């Protein structure tokens, strides 16, 4: 039993950043979905609701990813500004993916916007992790 616990502990330690990212990814996705759904409830166009949800989710994601996932060492205003800009630009690229998926599923195929938002968020969370790991926080690990 002790060997099993040690193996589990080693795996958790090895994948700690991914696990924490997934936790915050789920929270970011929930924020995105809630804001998107509220936007639709109040009659917003799906693309406008997508952008509003994106802005709020990106702010949350940057703050949590910076501190708890990638353990950023950027401290000066210039370092933080560069990091935040890089983060925002990488998220803008996945916003385009986000909008394309919503356009395809909701506007072109005429299917359920919530179902397509969930599908969309799974793809975007994976892309965001890769971009953050490779481009944004690479110098701060």
**Would you say 10 and 102 are in contact if contact means Cβ atoms under 8 Å apart?**
no
For the beta carbon of residue 64, count every other beta carbon within 10 angstroms. Answer: 18
Report the range of poorest mean pLDDT among 11-15, 30-34, 43-47, 135-139: 135-139
Residue 141 has pLDDT above 70, yes or no: no
- Higher-pLDDT residue of 47 and 138 is 47
Q: How would you label 71-88 residue by residue, b for 16+ Cβ within 10 Å and e otherwise? A: ebebeeeeeeeebbebbe
58 lies in which domain range? Answer: 15-140
Within a domain: 9: no
| Rounded (5°) CA angle 55-58-108 | 60
Whether 3 is covered by a domain: the verdict is: no
Supply the pLDDT for residue 139: 61
For residue 127, the model assigns a pLDDT of 92
pLDDT > 70 fraction of the chain, expressed in percent and rounded = 97
- For the range 117-121, what are the long-range contacts, defined as Cβ-Cβ under 8 Å and sequence gap of 24 or more? 117/32, 117/33, 117/36, 118/33, 121/29, 121/32, 121/33
Residue 2 lies in a domain: no
Rounded CA separation 32/29 (Å): 5
- pLDDT exceeds cutoff 80 at 1: no
**pLDDT of 140:** 44
Give Cα separations from 73 to 29, 58, 107, 126, 137 (angstroms): 26, 20, 42, 23, 9
In a domain, 26, yes or no: yes
Q: What was the pLDDT predicted at 5? A: 86
| 79-133 per-position pLDDT tens digit | 999 999 999 999 999 989 988 999 999 999 999 998 998 899 889 888 988 998 8
Paired tokens of 131: 């971009």
- The answer to pTM > 0.85 is no
Residue 65 lies in a domain: yes
Residue 37 lies in a domain: yes
Report yes or no on 4 lying in a domain. Answer: no
Confidence at residue 50, expressed as pLDDT on a 0 to 100 scale: 86
For the chain, the domain total comes to 1
Which sign does the torsion angle of CA 132, 133, 138, 141 carry? positive
Q: Is residue 105 domain-resident? A: yes
Indicate if the pLDDT at residue 52 is higher than 90. Answer: yes
Is the pLDDT at 4 greater than 70? The verdict is yes
């Amino acid at each position: 039993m002790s060997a099993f616990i040690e193996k589990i502990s080693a795996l958790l330690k090895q994948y700690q950043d991914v696990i924490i990212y997934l936790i915050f990814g789920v929270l970011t996705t929930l924020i995105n979905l809630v804001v998107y759904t509220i936007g639709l409830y109040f009659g917003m166009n799906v693309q406008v609701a997508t952008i509003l949800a994106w802005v709020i989710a990106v702010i949350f994601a940057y703050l949590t990813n910076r501190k708890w996932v990638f353990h950023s060492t950027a401290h000066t205003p210039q370092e933080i500004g560069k990091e935040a800009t890089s983060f925002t630009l990488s998220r803008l690229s996945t916003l385009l993916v986000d909008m394309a998926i919503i356009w395809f599923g909701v506007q072109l195929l005429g299917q359920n916007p919530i179902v397509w938002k969930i599908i969309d968020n799974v793809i975007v969370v994976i892309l965001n992790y890769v971009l953050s790991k490779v481009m944004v926080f690479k110098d701060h690990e």
